[in-house]
Chain A
Amino acid sequence: MSPRHAVAGSEARNLRPISGWGRYPQAASEILAADAPATLPALLHGRRGLIARGGGRAYGDAAIGQRITVLTGALDRMRGFDPASGRLWAEAGITLAEILRTVLPQGFFPPVVPGTQFVTLGGMIAADVHGKNHHREGGFGAHVEALTLLTPDGVPRSCSRERDPDLFAMTLGGMGLTGTILDATLRLRPVESGWIVQRTRVAADLAAMLRALEQDGEATYSVAWIDCLARGPSLGRGLVYRGEHAGREACRAAGRDPFPAPARGRLAVPPGWPGWTLNRLSVTAFNALYFRRGAAMAETPALVPWQAYFFPLDGLQAWNRLYGRRGFVQHQCVLPPRGAHAVLSEMLDRIARLGSASPLAVLKRLGPGGGGLSFPMEGYTLALDLPANRATFALLEALDRLVVAAGGRLYLAKDARQSRDTFEAGYPDLPAFREMRRCLGAEEMLASRLSTRLGL
């Protein structure tokens, strides 16, 4: 509370079971809370097996320390924002929600946003998150101009494309394993409003779906919801949502305030929600209704608030409780465009046959990737949630084999269970990444459950 109190030595030493957003797996870890960027080197000095944790929105075990998990929530200060250039300098623990709250009323929007605004800046860099505009804008890392990295030698280093470029490149998507990100500078894009003009198109089957996504090459944003339980001729059916930032005029014509105040109060899933409520019957019914409702509104452009377009699930607090006590896993892969249709058909057919997929399945087109351990690469990415149980794990083993055979890979920020072989097959820059870790002396010091599991 006071300057006097904040002297060193007030570090927490408690062992707690923690998990990622999927609530699977759970592991005990010592929790350390960062105070300020300046005191972090002393806090981490001499410690081993630690990883930084931001919003805790990685689904699996990426943000669970092998021994120590470092909470970065207190590193949430903005250090500078220039409304002329849109350049933002902020500490790594600031959330995307806080960034949006500040910059949107001033006419700026982050260049890339993931599916939730409760991630932190450091987390977005470490996972090199992608948005619904990857086909045009690349990943989040492409828009980071510079960052300060606390490397294992205890020295904060500024790096960028000019300064320490290899370390900078490996840190984008590096899952916090090259150092602890303290702050970063990025360029925001100017927007005229907080509204999105959304156009929904219906895809009756997988071929139509892929065609629609290809046609969206010029669209600013494009994402598809896919009905994972549809089979036969309807396999791969879904809705494709194209989005453009609405101009000031469009808002005025619709009688909307360009930058409306965010609505307060959100629904929350109560603790202890039973996982059986998500079953084949309820999800099939939901998907059929959702598809029909979307089809009825198709082709008519609609003005939707940015929260609804980018972060629909943020409206339901603690939605990860929907799967019950045992938690869930998200499987997100990317497949190269050539032959993607056949592989996706096979995958979707197996998923539909198992019948336990959640209604939340997403298909997107990705552009060329950024290298390192960054997930995106040219192709299609499919993401779906499944309850954490034996049947799911067996299915995912089979899906992984299809992904590997097709030359694809899995997203580390979502992963809780892929095998080392699957991982190694998917990331050709892995030897270079391991070499960088060795040179930095990071192997012992920086380790998450994920990095240990995958031999990073």
Chain B
Amino acid sequence: MAGTLLLVGATSDIGHAVAARYAEAGWRILLAARDPARAQRNADDLAARFRAEVTLLRLDILETDGFAQVLDALPVLPDTVVCAVGELGDQTRAEGDMTHAEQVMRTNFLGPALLLGLLAERFAARGSGAIVGISSVAGDRGRGSNYVYGAGKAGFSAFLSGLRNRLAGRGIRVVTVKPGFVRTRMTRDLRLPPLLTAAPSEVGRAIYAAAEGGGRDIVYVRPVWRLVMAVIGAIPEPVFKRLRL
């Protein structure tokens, strides 16, 4: 059954791959981006490839005051929302620059959590809907190399976990996605191990399967990440704090 997808973060590589997977399945697509002009090529791509009905709208994840208004203006309350917003930021800079640190935390946690929280209320009133948050394995345990980003993602993961717990049995599905490494603009300067690195299209397929097919609640796109994070989680803190990670 094809419905309507709201994708938040429509210029993101992962976001576009998610939208493509839904469009392929015949869904109507609402693309929300801070700068809709930059998302136009993604909207065109979905229409050209899949003859999808695509609507572009403006939403800035930092303008939390405007969320209700944006949702009120939607042509239809979506069946599924996927939040692909995220900002890796610059850890070193964030250590000395509070403004940058605050922006990274707000972009990865505050904005996405408040927006999905608001949508959750509307989905609960209707009695149906799926909420997908793209979080990160970086939120599973804080590491010296990216803990500002990781803290934001940890908060987001906890929020999604609570939402899922509260809405279980009320017809609302909440999915937390921890993609691991993905080949995107965000990571293209990093050297990534091939076996741990997914293509955006893999993430798109995994999210569609989890949200619409009723798979796992917490999705690690490449299953090996579940193991990797279990090991990282099991390292005692006195040892962990001395590791360069």
Contacts between chains A and B (CB distance < 8 A), count: 86
Quote the shortest CB–CB distance from A145 to chain B (angstroms). 16
- Encoded as 1 (CB less than 8 Å from any A CB) or 0, chain B from 28 to 69 comes to 000001110010011011011101000000000100000000
- Interface flag for A227 (CB, 8 Å): no
A81 CA to B44 CA in the complex, in Å? 9
- How many Å from the CB of B206 to the closest CB on chain A? 16
In the bound complex, do residue B14 and residue A12 qualify as a contact, i.e. CB atoms below 8 Å apart?
no
**Given A33-B188, A74-B185, A81-B49: A4 in contact with B41 (beta carbons within 8 A):** no
Which of A4, A33, A74, A102 is close to B34, meaning CB atoms less than 8 Å apart? Answer: A4
**Looking at the complex, which of B83-91, B122-130, B164-172, B218-226 is the stretch in contact with chain A?**
B83-91
CB-CB under 8 A from A5, the residues of chain B are 86-89, 185-186
**At the interface, yes or no: A79 with Cβ under 8 Å from chain B?**
yes
Among B5-13, B71-79, B228-236, B237-245, the stretch that binds chain A is: B5-13
Q: Contact partner of A1 among B12, B35, B47, CB < 8 A?
A: B12
| Interface pair B33/A12, CB less than 8 Å apart | no
Compute how far the CA of A1 lies from the CA of B186 in the bound complex, rounded to whole angstroms. 5
Contact B48 A79 (CB under 8 A): yes
Does A80 reach chain B (CB closer than 8 Å)?
yes
Whether a CB of chain A sits under 8 angstroms from the CB of B157 is no
Question: Which of B12, B49, B182 is the one whose CB lies under 8 Å from A2?
Answer: B12
A33 to B45 alpha-carbon distance, docked (Å): 20
Measured between beta carbons, the chain A residues less than 8 angstroms from B186 are: 1-2, 5
Q: Does A35 reach chain B (CB closer than 8 Å)?
A: yes
B184 to chain A: which residues have CB within 8 Å?
1
Q: How large is the interface on B (under 10, 10 to 19, 20 to 34, 35 or more residues)?
A: 20 to 34
The answer to whether B188 touches A81, judged by C-beta atoms less than 8 angstroms apart, is no
Check: A37 CB closer than 8 A to any chain B CB.
yes
Residues B185 and A78 in contact, CB atoms below 8 Å apart: no
Which of the listed residues A5, A12, A14 has the most CB atoms from chain B within 10 Å of its own CB?
A5
Q: Nearest Cβ in chain A — how far from B81, in angstroms?
A: 16
A contact residues around B38 at 8 Å (CB): 3, 6, 36, 38
The reply on A419 being an interface residue by CB < 8 A is: no
CB distance from A220 to the nearest CB of B (A): 27
**CA gap between A288 and B185 in the complex, in Å:** 49
**B80 interface residue per 8 A CB criterion:** no
- State A102–B12 Cα separation when bound (angstroms): 22
Q: Which residues of A contact B14 (CB under 8 A)?
A: 1
CB within 8 Å for A1 and B189 given contacts A36-B38, A78-B44, A78-B49: no
Which B residues lie within 8 Å of A14 (CB)? 189
Let me know if A400 is at the binding interface, CB within 8 A: no
Min CB distance, B68 to chain A, in Å? Answer: 21
In this assembly, does A77 line the interface, its C-beta being within 8 Å of a C-beta of chain B? yes
CA distance A74 to B13 in the complex (A): 9
Query: CB < 8 Å: which of A10, A33, A37, A81 contacts B48?
Result: A81
Indicate whether A385 reaches chain B with its CB closer than 8 angstroms.
no
A55–B244 Cα gap in the complex (Å)? 37
> Is A91 located at the chain interface by the 8 A CB criterion?
yes
Whether a CB of chain A sits under 8 angstroms from the CB of B107 is yes
Q: A2-B86, A3-B85, A78-B49 are in contact. List 9 more A-B contacts (CB 8 A).
A: A1-B9, A1-B88, A2-B84, A2-B85, A3-B9, A3-B33, A4-B87, A6-B11, A102-B48
What is B's interface to A at a CB cutoff of 8 Å? 9-14, 33-35, 38, 41-42, 44-45, 47-49, 51, 61, 84-89, 103, 107, 182, 184-186, 188-189
> Can you list 14 pairs linking A and B with CB atoms under 8 Å apart?
A1-B13, A2-B61, A2-B86, A2-B186, A3-B10, A3-B85, A4-B87, A5-B185, A6-B185, A12-B189, A36-B38, A37-B41, A77-B44, A89-B48
